[in-house]
Amino acid sequence: MCGIVGYIGNREVQPILVDGLSKLEYRGYDSAGIAVLERERLDVRKAEGRLANLSEKLDKRPLKGTIGIGHTRWATHGGPSDANSHPHTDMSGKFSVVHNGIIENYMELKEELMGKGVVFRSETDTEVIAHLMADLYDGDLVRTVRALIGRIQGAFSIGVITEHEPDKLVAVRQASPLVIGAGQGENFIASDMAAVIEHTRDVYILEDGDLAVITAEEITIMKAETGAPAQRKKLRVHWDVEQVKKGQFEHFMLKEIHEQPLTLRNTMLGRLGRDDQVTFEGLELTDKYVQGIEKIFIVACGTAYHAGLVGKAAIEKLTRIPVETDIASEFRYRDPIVTDKTLVIVVSQSGETADTLAALQESQRRGAKVLAITNVATSSIARDADYVIPTVAGPEIAVASTKAYTAQLIAFYLLAIYFCQAKGTLDDQERRDLVRGLKELPLQVEKVLENADEVRCFAESIKDQKSLFFIGRGLDYAVALEGSLKLKEISYIHSEAYAAGELKHGSLALVEEGTPVIALVTHQELYEKTVSNIKEVKARGAHVMGVTGEGNMDLFNAVDEICFIPQASQLFAPILAVVPLQLISYYTSLALGNDIDKPRNLAKSVTVE
Ligand code: F6R
């Protein structure tokens, strides 16, 4: 969480920083600020709330200069306010710091500094860095930052500038992402390459413990602890700049929902051979290793966890390898039974989620191999995992995840087939049927999207409801969980997902006249059972929207409204069933006038525990 950007070069820095922050706002949007060095004088502007508030301040009092740092915040220590916004400065105003992460020993450092007469102006952990820099400064910024790193504990990426040495910008990475953009006579730092690709396609990804000294002409990377040079590969980014723009869509979320036919195709591209064999380029899982797997754990957070629930079903059904799913923040603290015969699959769109990364490291410590399914091939999770399957969804900007989820499902389906090939548990015909079904999905999603207006009226009708239920059995339940999360996070309407048969064991008491219930009925073999559960809620006055496969016309008799999705095999139906739920969340929030791409209290990349 929090986004950092920095620039050093010959151009006016303010618009570059503000534009960079606009690309990083998804990481946090409680407040924003920039610090600029002009003729060896540091000046700072900050504003609580969205970046637009900062821009307004800057319009009135612009900052001039060609070196600067900026920050967009997701509050951890201290609420959103001007005072708690970054950049933070020391008492003399000569050092300015932006920080993403948490300084765990900040209280201890704060007391020490206060004992020396330092007066703190914010409640943040970050402010200690600025004061400590001033306290430790010995005439050499790099040496001082290295000394600072020896004093602070926790997860951080930091950018520092100072009036004392106005020709450089120093950046450090420790367990929080940071990239350096290498330009011509100008260089950049950013939490995510999205903030720099308009200016340069050449980036260095810093690794944990790296310190970078950046001037307009040069980038020097070393290990912060020893000062030894660190060789990092210069990477060329091939993202399309348009991908990080909204284009014709009102919101990134709607754009990303509509991109799904393409992102599903891209995630399959090159992975289905002529003979319908699944291959993953560069994945070195040997058949012998796969044959020896005794158990699989799928570990993730939020939407990625929900993808894992579908992944479990796919792997168990096709390979018969037992799979356990776990929420990453729980997994690492519950002494999981993980051995060298366990494969742990972590799923993460961003590849930076702190809990998921910690689960990965804990699994490796226990001797397991870890396979990552991630959308960011250069992320911490991708780099630490033993094996990586990239999803090819392109940058996902809206906080509510949509296209990353469906791409994760594709990755799981392909992986399950791949395991079967290694184990020899699927005959050719079964494999061909599965692959045919997979290939049909992008077109089928297009069809669902063509009927988006069908769910729009329903979405508008629930906007004033206090509470709502999603019900389903089997994989429909997994999709119900995702639909419920999506609705909560952007509409702020309370909702719960239930395994349809479980409702009567307590929660049915909450259903009353007019309670909206979204019932997923795509499991043909569980069809009658789910219909019985629908009747139970209808009998208590619920207003039911059914989501079902085309052809199930008789569901009309059991529900009030209906949304048809194309018929697909049970395993693949979640990809189709989730799309109307994504649209319902979107249109409900739109009707409520919410900030859809940046819902309250949330951030896209959760890099704190
Ligand atoms: C919900 C959402 C979150 C993320 C979760 C994990 O729409 O986006 O629940 O799925 O924070 O994030 P990643 O996948 O980046 O690890």
Phi, psi of 210 (to 5 degrees): -85, 145
- Name 424's Cβ contacts closer than 8 Å, sequence gap at least 6: none
- Rounded to two decimals, the pTM is 0.82
| Structure confidence by residue, pLDDT tens digits, 224-263 | 999 999 999 999 987 776 677 788 899 999 999 999 999 9
Q: Which domains does the chain have, with CATH numbers?
A: 3-244 (3.60.20.10), 252-449 (3.40.50.10490), 453-592 (3.40.50.10490)
Q: Which of 606, 608, 609 to mutate to test the pocket of ligand 1 (most atoms within 8 A of CB)?
A: 606
Mean pLDDT value across residues 371-386: 93
Q: Identify whether 2 is a catalytic site residue.
A: yes
- Name 130's Cβ contacts closer than 8 Å, sequence gap at least 6: 88, 89, 90, 95, 96, 97
Residue nearest to atom 8 of ligand 1 (CA): 401
Measured from the CB, is residue 353 less than 6 Å from ligand 1? yes
Q: Which of 329, 384, 401 to mutate to test the pocket of ligand 1 (most atoms within 8 A of CB)?
A: 401
Q: Are 404 and 305 in contact (CB under 8 A)?
A: no
Of 153, 373, 414, which Cα lies nearest the Cα of 269? Answer: 414
Measured from the CB, is residue 380 less than 6 Å from ligand 1? no
Q: Identify whether 420 is a catalytic site residue.
A: no
Measured from the CB, is residue 301 less than 6 Å from ligand 1? yes
Kindly give the distance from the C-alpha atom of residue 41 to the centroid of ligand 1, in angstroms, as a whole number.
Answer: 41
What is the Cα–Cα distance from 609 to 607, expressed in whole angstroms? 7
- Name 107's Cβ contacts closer than 8 Å, sequence gap at least 6: none
- Catalytic residue, chosen from 2, 301, 420, 563, is 2
Q: Which of 1, 257, 349 to mutate to test the pocket of ligand 1 (most atoms within 8 A of CB)?
A: 349
| Structure confidence by residue, pLDDT tens digits, 129-177 | 999 999 999 999 999 999 999 999 988 999 999 999 999 999 999 988 8
Q: Is the pLDDT of residue 602 over 90?
A: no
What is the Cα–Cα distance from 381 to 477, expressed in whole angstroms? 28
| Structure confidence by residue, pLDDT tens digits, 542-601 | 999 999 999 898 999 999 999 999 999 999 999 999 999 999 999 999 999 999 999 988
Residue nearest to atom 10 of ligand 1 (CA): 303
Kindly give the distance from the C-alpha atom of residue 399 to the centroid of ligand 1, in angstroms, as a whole number.
Answer: 8
| Structure confidence by residue, pLDDT tens digits, 183-200 | 999 999 999 888 999 999
Residue nearest to atom 16 of ligand 1 (CA): 348
Q: Count CA atoms closer than 13 A to 234's CA, side-chain side.
A: 8
Residue 292 has what pLDDT?
Answer: 95
